[in-house]
Chain A
Amino acid sequence: MSSNHPISESDTSAFSVERSTLSVPQLAAADSWRHLRQFTAARIALGHTGGSQRTESVLDFRLSHARARDAVHSPFDADTLEQAMRARSLFTFRLSTAATDRRTYLIRPDLGRSLDDPSRKLIFANAQTWGQRDLAIVVSDGLAAQAAEQHAIATLEPLVGHLIAGGWTVYPIFVIPFARVKLQDEIGELLGARHTLMLLGERPGLGSPDSLGAYFTFNPRAGCTDADRNCISNIRPEGLPPVSAAAKLAYLLNESARLSLSGVALKDTNPIYPPKISAT
């Protein structure tokens, strides 16, 4: 095996036959600090040929990019996600944005920021039944369907349980394909919710085609901007694990409710992860 890069271990095994004919490691300098890779998934200590990257690093990168491209365009299985949520007593409610397909969603973010007309009518029709509650949660595929499919439940199950035990009232979880972050403002305003929280797939990185983002807003309304929100990103097992994300969100949401604000004015001063001592 020519590479021990954490991201590409499986890649190199999958391609080992082809790869062995391509890489000529003796022509390229390895780096003496490869042991530092234990501290990060970043592509460090790649070695070099001249000042350039070695063939195997170039091909590793290209494979990761190919997978990320495929992830962007993979379809969202909202039905299966809703079934799985209901099986865990996370009640759901399907709505739609004005974006009707993946391509439109990518080039028209404005359409992903608003509900379609039937969805607005559905909210009006149900508003009285639901009554006014503290929190409206939205789950969407965003830019990576697998992020929502794989990590939304793992994040929401502990979070919703914790919040409800703390006295929060929560609407059914709105599952809405092709949504953008700002959609939470319209939903929050229509419902009169105190808080909105949105979980959606982030733009896939090369080694993270399944990264989930969480954005919440106090007193959501059409005039809100990104400065009025708080964000937690990179929720996935290899990044911020869903259970830890749930703990962080629970803390921040409770602080937000206590202080009646969100966004840049709400500072995360709780060192949930005790700072570690530097390697240097």
Chain B
Amino acid sequence: MSPWSCNVGPRRHSFESLRELMAKATPLRSGDELAGLAAATAEERVAAQHCLADVPLRQFLAEPLIPYESDEVTRLIVDTHDAEAFAPVASLSVGEFRNWLLRYETDQDTLVALAPGLTPEMVAAVSKLMSNQDLILAAQKRHVITAFRSTIGLPGRLAVRLQPNHPTDDPKGIAASTLDGLLYGCGDAVIGINPATDNVTAIETLLRMLDELIRRYEIPTQSCVLAHVTTQLAAIKNGAPVDLVFQSIAGTEAANKSFGVNLALLAEARDAALSLGRGTVGNNVMYFETGQGSALSAGAHHGVDQQTCEVRAYAVARHFSPLLVNTVVGFIGPEYLHDGKQIIRAGLEDHFCGKLLGLPMGVDVCYTNHAEADQDDMDNLLTLLGVAGCNYIMGVPGADDIMLGYQSTSYHDSHYLRQVLGLKPAPEFEAWLEKMNIASEGRLHEVGAKHPLLLP
């Protein structure tokens, strides 16, 4: 007799473990099929959702999907769980929890108080029962506000990471894209460069260049060079001006090991960044990126579906009070999220799950050229995330990242979204844009050749 089973018409569907039940209840995506974890039929998927709806939330505390003994992420989740915060929903099943989230009475304050009581597995489970509109509605209730030199995540605001990448890290090329982004009113979340190579000297050059730019024009934003965390630590030791420390993270210890990181190393990096004391309006110094499929890609998923692994990564992120977390949702490729439909669903799931756990979620609304997706799919996801209250999006020149070889959202896309939804930049940055005569009241100003940013 299987622990989890339910009758759907004449058929009885059985699931051997909570792990299998979670995987089979997950809306269809290629990565779970690749892992051999997906439901075999559409009916089995819905049967699994029926069954999952009846699972008590507290079951996830009793039955870790990845053993406590063998995984430090599980240990982090279990050891930091706040039973008191969990109390209001402790008696609910997953299905009842969905209803609870959608009640009028469940608001920002309720969700803030609840967050430490939720584990990633509970949040992943309920998201599997939720429709896209549920994911949007519930996420919109939750504002997660963080700060360094600008304040991110306030209601009615949408920030942008300026992403001025260059294929050879040429500082002049990066500077050109950075100025372009600033003159398009972008960069309030962070000016964040993905370096092409993990060279300590090269990233120090870029950090100094951004620091000089930010100081010279008194831009209320922060910089980041998204090298490996150990490379950034080396730069800090050399005295480089590091605002935010970045790292890609995943939801299992083994997947993090494949990234060359663990919790202790992340703690060391955070301490190092905090010791520099470079924030002005806040002290959130970490920047994390995630994405469904990374654990499977590293052969480190332990038979857990990719969406649940992703939410476990948020438990890692939450431990370090980051300024920014974003899922790079369509970057990993069609073997994990096959097409526009799967990318859109995953983007909404990641945003909702991150917010519910209390993370300042942004989304890199993106796709690769081997995925069955195009810019229209990104327009759809961008709009939905704007409605859901996403903290920030990427700003890439013309949506074309010439270093990473994928398509994201453009500076112009942020203007589209701010226009249709009446969203504003981070308040400190909004004031700076006005002071610099770049934009005001949601409109770009004409910038002449003698604008201060364009002077040598």
The yes or no verdict on A and B being binding partners is yes
Q: Which residues of A come within 8 Å of B, CB atoms?
A: 29, 31-33, 36-37, 39-46, 48, 50-53, 57, 61-62, 64-65, 68-69, 71-72, 106-110, 143, 202-208, 211, 225-227, 232-234, 238-240, 263-264, 267-271, 273, 275-280
- Known contacts: A46-B398, A61-B398, A239-B167. The answer to whether A227 contacts B257 by CB under 8 A is yes
* CB pairs A–B below 8 angstroms (5 shown): A40-B174, A42-B176, A50-B419, A204-B370, A227-B258
Residues from chain B with a CB closer than 8 A to the CB of A211 are 405
Most buried by B among A42, A208, A277: A42
Query: B333 contacts which of A44, A203, A208, A280 (Cβ < 8 Å)?
Result: A203
A250 to chain B, nearest CB (A): 15
- Distance in angstroms between the alpha carbons of A72 and B169 in the assembled complex: 26
Determine whether the beta carbon of A107 is less than 8 Å from that of B199: no
B4 at the interface (CB under 8 A from A): no
List 7 tightest A-B contacts by C-beta distance, closest first.
Answer: A43-B398, A51-B415, A205-B405, A40-B173, A225-B258, A264-B260, A44-B180
Known contacts A205-B406, A267-B234, A273-B168; can you find 16 more A-B pairs with CB under 8 A?
A29-B446, A40-B173, A65-B374, A106-B335, A106-B370, A107-B334, A107-B338, A109-B297, A204-B370, A205-B400, A234-B405, A271-B202, A273-B202, A275-B171, A277-B171, A279-B172
Which residues does B use to contact A, with CB under 8 Å? 30, 34, 164-168, 170-177, 179-180, 183-184, 196-202, 205, 209, 212-213, 216, 228, 230-231, 234, 257-260, 297-299, 333-335, 338, 368-370, 374-375, 397-407, 410, 412, 415-416, 418-419, 442-444, 446-449, 451, 454
Whether B179 and A33, one on each chain, are in contact in the complex, defined by CB atoms closer than 8 angstroms, is yes
Q: Hey, which chain B residues are within 8 Å of A264, CB to CB?
A: 198, 228, 230, 260
> Are B212 and A278 within 8 A (Cβ)?
yes
From known contacts A42-B177, A204-B405, A239-B167, infer whether A275 and B205 are also in contact, taking CB-CB under 8 Å: yes
Which one of B170, B369, B443 has the greatest number of beta carbons of chain A within 10 Å? B369
**A45 to B199 alpha-carbon distance, docked (Å):** 29
From the candidates A39, A46, A263, A268, name the one contacting B175 in the complex (CB within 8 A): A39
Is A205 within 8 A of B402, CB to CB? yes
> From A222, which residue of chain B is reached at the shortest CB distance?
B299
Known: A107-B34, A227-B260, A232-B197. A52 touches B415 (CB 8 A): yes
Residue of B168, B176, B397, B404 touching A240 (CB-CB under 8 A): B168
CA distance A276 to B258 in the complex (A): 33
- Contact between A280 and B374, CB atoms less than 8 A apart: no
In the assembly, what is the distance between CA of A50 and CA of B412, in Å?
9
Question: Which residue from A71, A203, A225, A267 sits with its C-beta under 8 Å from B406?
Answer: A203
Taking the closest CB of chain A, its distance from the CB of B345, in whole angstroms, is: 18
Closest chain B residue to A248 by CB distance? Answer: B197
B173, B258, B418: the one within 8 Å of A42 (CB): B173
| A36→B446 contact, CB < 8 A | no
Quick check: A39 and B176 within 8 Å, CB to CB? yes
A201→B170 CA distance, assembly (Å):
23
Known A-B contacts A240-B168, A269-B201; A32 and B448 likewise in contact (beta carbons under 8 Å): yes
Chain A residues near B398 (CB-CB < 8 A): 42-44, 46, 53, 57, 61
Using A211-B405, A263-B260 as known contacts, say yes or no to A276 and B170 having CB atoms under 8 A apart: yes
Q: Do A108 and B335 touch across chains, with their CB atoms under 8 A apart?
A: yes
- In the complex, what residues of A have CB within 8 A of residue B416's CB? 51-52
Among A39, A207, A227, which residue has its beta carbon within 8 angstroms of that of B402?
A207
> Do residues B259 and A226 form an inter-chain contact, with CB atoms below 8 A?
yes
Residues from chain A with Cβ under 8 Å of B34 in the complex: 107-110
What is the chain B residue whose CB lies nearest that of A102?
B370
User: Nearest Cβ distance between residue A264 and chain B, in whole angstroms?
Assistant: 4
Q: Is the CB of B369 within 8 A of A65?
A: yes
Of the candidates B167, B405, B412, B418, which one forms a contact with A46 in the assembled complex, judged by CB atoms under 8 Å apart? B412
- Bound Cα distance from A234 to B196, whole angstroms: 8
**Closest residue of B by beta carbon distance from A113:** B299
Partner of A143, one of B230, B258, B370, B443: B370
Bound-state CA distance A205–B402 (Å) is 7
Q: Which residues of chain A come closer than 8 Å to B200, judged between CB atoms?
A: 267-269
Query: Distance in Å from the Cβ of B16 to the closest Cβ of chain A?
Result: 23
Bound-complex Cα distance A280 to B208 (A): 11
Residue of chain A at shortest CB distance from B209: A278
